[in-house]
Structure 1
Amino acid sequence: MNSKIVKAHIALFAAASMWGLMSPVGKMAMNAGITSLSLTSMRMMGAALCFWIASFFAPKEKVSKRDLLLLFFAALLGIVFNQGMFIFGLSLTSPIDATIITTSLPIATLILGILFLKEPVIPMKIFGVIIGAVGALILILSNYNDIGISGNIWGDMLCLFAQISFACYLTFFKGLISRYHVFTLMKWMFTYASLCFIPFSFHDLSEMISMSFPVDVWLEVGYVVFFGTFFAYVLIMVGQKTLHATIVSMYNYMQPVVGTIVSVVIGIGTFGWVKGIASLLIFVGVYIVTQTKSRMSLRNVP
């Protein structure tokens, strides 16, 4: 295996681990008094600043007026609704549930691909969707019987809708994403997202400024901004430039693994046998989906 492939695998592993850690770390920050609105707003504004700075060291690209408008709608689906609903959901549910539900993204993307991109209806894909959907349903409904620190059905639903929103972004803006460098895309998308989100978070942000938080809370916020957002997006692009999309998607499974381990270790989450079965069904469903061929593969397009 050459060094370029090894580098891509290491980058994907690091990105998935960062996203997996973001749920328990973000939950700790919110438990300390950082509201979900404030955390989401700081994540968007911080990432926008980082990507604008990084863009000065990237290839210069001119974005057409039409694409700037498309990037606004891409920001709504890919960031505002996605991150907003996820953070709100995380504030209501357990980090274990939130990280497990993130594995439903490939399933949602598959369904949208069949509906809007005319991907072939392959039996194994349908089977994978059903298995994954059953797992997600069991996970959400299991919260009715949970006690104390465990999840919340509304929080789980918000986390699920966040994945559907991002799946819409991947489906409807696939052409736009392929035309520009990641720094060019992300600097505009996170800027638009910040402008859209500030009116809703301004009150929380203004109150937070007058409050005092320990250093460790700000370190947790910094992790969400720099590692859970900026560096993770950069690393995922390193992997995508070298490895097949199926291999890249497999690293999504690291998120619930990392999030679950950390949540249980630090005592802010629980994990019983019902959730174990649910998460296993999700993993199996997503694995089946990502192993089947796409329309392009069936046509033998290189």
Structure 2
Amino acid sequence: MEKSSNLRQRGIILAIAGPLLWGFSGIAAQYLFTVDQVSPQWLVGIRMLGAGVLLLGFGYLTQPHSMLTLWHQPRAIGALLIFSFIGMLPAQLTYFMAIKYSNAATATILQFLSPVLIILYFALRQWRRPRGIDLLSMALALLGTFLLVTHGQLTRLSISPTGLVWGLLTALSTAIYTIFPRKLLREFGAVPVVGWSMLLGGCGFLPFALRQPAHLNLPGLATVAFVVVFGTLFAYLFILQSLRFIAPTVTSLLGAFEPLTSTILTVLIFQVQFGWPEAVGTLLILATTGLQALPLHPKNFTK
């Protein structure tokens, strides 16, 4: 019993550590955009290429026989290429663009609208009416988004229209990369699929990645390294390892530490005003994740 309890505690710690690192990564990205004038395209390219190489390296060390299996099946190769450029790449780009044109907290919170889009997708695909809990989730998400982006006032937006658009596109792209690779993940495992998709998707931004920003100094390079190593590689591995000890439903719920971390740090570091309408809106959006936890919609944690 004690051993089981210790393993569960380990899983919970890992499931919290991953989102915390994602939250810190968003703040680091906002710092790079505002202080070092780094472009989102450059950071996306560096992040995906770096994390892809590191993930594949980790895979070759821990499961060498499964890393190339995917490349022996033409259908799987086609699915991987589609996922890399239609799922993974847009999810990375829209998230960083949303941070640039709003802030890390708003971008991360709007990303959590993706469960609502997943609900709509499955309802349309299976041609069935959403459950009552699904309708409640959508209502809470819409109300939460309204409070978050308008400060509770109908006549104005509290963020730029560009930031709002990129934030909504982040939710859409997150829903796509959550739904699309389910078969690939079941057949080949998470590390090969995510590692190869990051590397391939990053190649799409290779022209940007090869141009180092002129204003990037040593602290800036250290921040970039943090985004790649801790905010991507370790965050993902922590989430993956947590699934060995606790249920996916628990891991999904603990993902709320990401927007909470981003919100607190955004207010403290960048002095962004975050009043009660935004706080209530955030809680309403995060509540949709809790409502959908049983049963949990497919989630692959490829942030």
Could you state the TM-score of these two structures normalised by the residue count of structure 1?
0.86
Q: Secondary structure at the match of 2:62?
A: coil
1:234 maps to 2:237? yes
When residues 190 and 257 of structure 1 are mapped into structure 2, their CA distance, relative to the original with a 3 A threshold, is same
Q: CA deviation at 1:240?
A: 2.4
Aligned-residue Cα RMSD (Å) equals 2.4
Measure the CA separation in 2 of the matches of 1:268 and 1:70.
43
- 1:266 maps to what in 2? 269
Give CA deviations for 1:170-226 in whole Å, capped at 9, x if unaligned: 223212111123221122101210122224x26xx4252xx2533221121111111
1:218 maps to 2:227? no
1:112 maps to 2:121? yes
Give CA deviations for 1:65-108 in whole Å, capped at 9, x if unaligned: 21121111112243211111111111110222112212223222
1:56 maps to 2:60? yes
Higher mean alpha-carbon deviation, 110-119 vs 1-10, is at: 110-119
Measure the CA separation in 2 of the matches of 1:173 and 1:186.
9
1:27 maps to 2:52? no
Letter aligned with residue 282 of structure 2? S
Q: Which of 117, 139, 145 matches 2:148?
A: 139
Letter aligned with residue 237 of structure 2? V
When residues 28 and 10 of structure 1 are mapped into structure 2, their CA distance, relative to the original with a 3 A threshold, is same
How many pairs are equivalent?
A: 287
**Unaligned stretches of 5+ in structure 1?**
297-302
- 1:299 maps to what in 2? none
- 1:130 maps to what in 2? 139
- 2:11 maps to what in 1? 8
- 1:67 maps to what in 2? 76
**Unaligned stretches of 5+ in structure 2?**
299-303
Higher mean alpha-carbon deviation, 49-58 vs 236-245, is at: 236-245
Measure the CA separation in 2 of the matches of 1:67 and 1:206.
33
When residues 71 and 241 of structure 1 are mapped into structure 2, their CA distance, relative to the original with a 3 A threshold, is farther
- 1:87 maps to what in 2? 96
Letter aligned with residue 184 of structure 1? P
Measure the CA separation in 1 of the matches of 2:204 and 2:54.
18
Measure the CA separation in 2 of the matches of 1:223 and 1:156.
27
Equivalent residues of 2:87, 2:180 under 8 A apart:
no
1:188 maps to 2:193? no
Measure the CA separation in 2 of the matches of 1:272 and 1:294.
31
Letter aligned with residue 7 of structure 1? R
1:160 maps to 2:156? no
Q: CA deviation at 1:52?
A: 2.3
The percentage of aligned residue pairs carrying the same residue is 19
Q: Secondary structure at the match of 1:40?
A: helix
1:44 maps to 2:48? yes
Q: Which of 173, 187, 196 matches 1:179?
A: 187
Higher mean alpha-carbon deviation, 38-47 vs 4-13, is at: 4-13
- 1:300 maps to what in 2? none
Could you state the TM-score of these two structures normalised by the residue count of structure 2?
0.86
Q: CA deviation at 1:151?
A: 3.1
Measure the CA separation in 2 of the matches of 1:295 and 1:269.
33
Give CA deviations for 1:98-120 in whole Å, capped at 9, x if unaligned: 12212223222222232235677
1:284 maps to 2:292? no
Equivalent residues of 2:10, 2:245 under 8 A apart:
no
Measure the CA separation in 2 of the matches of 1:92 and 1:161.
13
